[in-house]
Each structure stands twice: as structure tokens, then as C-alpha cells.
Chains A and B, each alone.
Chain A
Amino acid sequence: MHEYSLAHALLQALTDHLREHPVRGRIRAVHVRKGELLILSEEALAEAWRILAEGTAAAGSELQIERVPVKVRCGSCGYAGPVRYSTDEGWHFAVPVLSCPRCGGRAEVVEGRELAIVGLSVDEDSSEAG
């Protein structure tokens, strides 16, 4: 529901980055890592991006979203890694269970909540053309 403000924050982060590290050419795609725990519609985020990027250095670029699975660290047994998923037929999708899959203890989430730009696909030839 807050995809617009998050798309705006991503765009801001990209603009700040480009100020210090300008790229030559046209940005075709912006690669984003998105933690699977975030309650975001990927379609809405990509759509918000398309609209907000107009008139910026990222105009016409497409947001490409890579979903990052949850990883936890267990304080009791030291387990570090992925979690178990609850996939009851009633769920619409698999839901990560935030416990230690080894000992059942409470586990700290170390990955799965991130949202950041990790790469750009740049078309160098098109800078002259347009």
C-alpha cells in the first residue's frame, strides 16, 4: 500500500548515487533486491517506479525485482540459514515461519527485509541517439 513512497525512496537513493557516480547512456533496467518479508506488491512497485521515474535520469527504465528469501540466526543452537515455510492449502502462498528450523527456538531475522538497488543495465549507444 506504500509502494509509491518506497519507489520514491529508491529513486532518491539512485539519484544520490548518480550524482557521485554518473553513468553514460540510458538506464534500461534498475535491479532491486527485495526481502520476501516485506509486504509489497511487486507489480505496484514497478508501476510506481515507471511513473515516478519520468523526467529523471531513470526515465523509461524498468524495475527488475529479485526476491530475497528469509535467513535467520538462532540464538539457542547457532543455526544460520533459511527457514521452514508454512504452506497450508488455505494460504495463498508459502509463508516463512520465523523460528529456528533445527531446534524450534526463536530466531533473529538477518535477511528478508531489505530493499535496495544493486545494479543498473545501461545502454551506452542510446545516449547519442536520444
Chain B
Amino acid sequence: MHDIRVGTEDVFKRQLELAARNYELLQNRKVRAFNVMGAIGSGKTLLILRLAERLKDKGLRVGAIAGDVAGDDDYQRFAAAGLVAANLNTGDDCHLDAHRVGHALEDFPLGEVDVLFIENVGNLVCPADFPLGTEGELVVISVTEGDDMVRKHPKIFAQTDVLAVNKVDLAGFVGVDPMVLVDDYRRLNPHGKVVLTDARSGRGVDELLGALGL
């Protein structure tokens, strides 16, 4: 038995190249894009809708790509709210990747939007490994998932620079102190910005816009 050194191409290299290509395309078309990740049902879609309302008031045109394993519910909600929307089903993949998003961008009317939200598949595990080529990333969790969400999925929080802790209106009902989540996040990501939001009433949404640099 003997050992041979081989050097195959890094399997993420192509993803990174495709992400860089998406980034360049978005920059050239002057579209500011954001990868919205987060737990299932944490309020990603509703927060995007709230952010879009504020951006529209500022005279900006907003688009959204709804990434889901199956179905077009989120796409329908974006479209009904008047956003330029596209649906992106992953089949059975648990995350979006730069390749899929690249094809979605080819078909998307980028000339009609200034800001584009790409809603990732609800999942706190792997979307962090797959940069899409957006200028910013946001991860959304809600208090109803419990106060240990950051501790249970530390890597995505260590790598994502904006966190929304959503559904703070329900914190008292579920007996969760949102500050536990905030403190855990701050320890993992000293450069990150964290905002408490209630997407139903719109509380915290302006602050979240600021955290995203919008």
C-alpha cells in the first residue's frame, strides 16, 4: 500500500466563481441584492414585504426571488404585494446555490429593480456554505423557535453579519427573552448587527433597513 498525493479542484471553487459572476452582474445592473436566510417560518417573507414597503416609500423599486423546496406560496405573496417576483424551486435541495441563482438572474428583469431580496430555503444549517454573490446577507430567526437557536446553529451566525430576531411581539407568550439570542450572537460575531423586529406591526423594520445599509 502506498500513498499518492493528488490535488483535485476544490468542490466549492466553481460555486465561488459563479457567486463572483452573480456579484458582477448585479453590480453592473446596479441592483443591490441581499441573501435572506433563516429558520423555517421565522418571518423571512413577511420581513421582506415590510422592508419593501419602506423602500417603495423611498422611491426604490424592489424585487424578490422566492427560493423554496417546492410550491409558489411565497412567490404569490411577493407578486400580490406588487414586487417584481420570481419563483425558484430547488426540487429537494435544502439551500440555494450560486448556480441556481445565476440562472434565475438570467431570466429576471434586473432593469426593473433597484433592490433585490433572495429568500433562501428555510434552513439554518447549510445556506451559509453557499454564497450567492449578493452584497449583503441577513439571517432571520424568531423568538418562537426558542432562546437556544443561536447556540444550536452557531456557524451560520458566526458568518452572517446582520441578524433579525423576529416575532418579538410573541416573546412574552413563549417565555423567551430575546436578549439571550442577542447576547449569544454578539459573542459569536462581534462585527454583526442585530435588530429586534415584529414584522406584523413593522416594529424594528427601519432599523433593519439601516443595518442592511439601505
Contact = CB atoms under 8 A, between A and B. Distances in A.
Given A39-B128, A97-B189, A121-B2, A115 B154 contact: no
Interface in A10-32: 10, 13-14, 16-17, 21, 23, 28, 31
Nearest to B157: A95
A15 to B, nearest CB: 10
Interface string A67-95: 00000000000000000001010111001
B1 A121 contact: yes
* Contact count band on A: 35 or more
Interface in A30-77: 31, 37-40
The residue in B10, B11, B125 that gathers the most chain A C-beta atoms within 10 A of its C-beta is B11
Contacts, number: 106
A90 B191 CA distance: 21
24 contacts: A1-B123, A2-B126, A14-B8, A92-B152, A95-B154, A95-B158, A95-B188, A97-B189, A97-B190, A98-B159, A98-B191, A99-B191, A104-B190, A114-B12, A115-B10, A118-B6, A119-B3, A119-B6, A120-B3, A120-B4, A120-B6, A122-B1, A122-B2, A124-B2
Q: Report the 10 A-B pairs with minimum CB-CB distance, sorted nearest first.
A: A13-B8, A9-B11, A95-B154, A117-B8, A116-B10, A1-B94, A120-B4, A90-B151, A123-B1, A115-B11
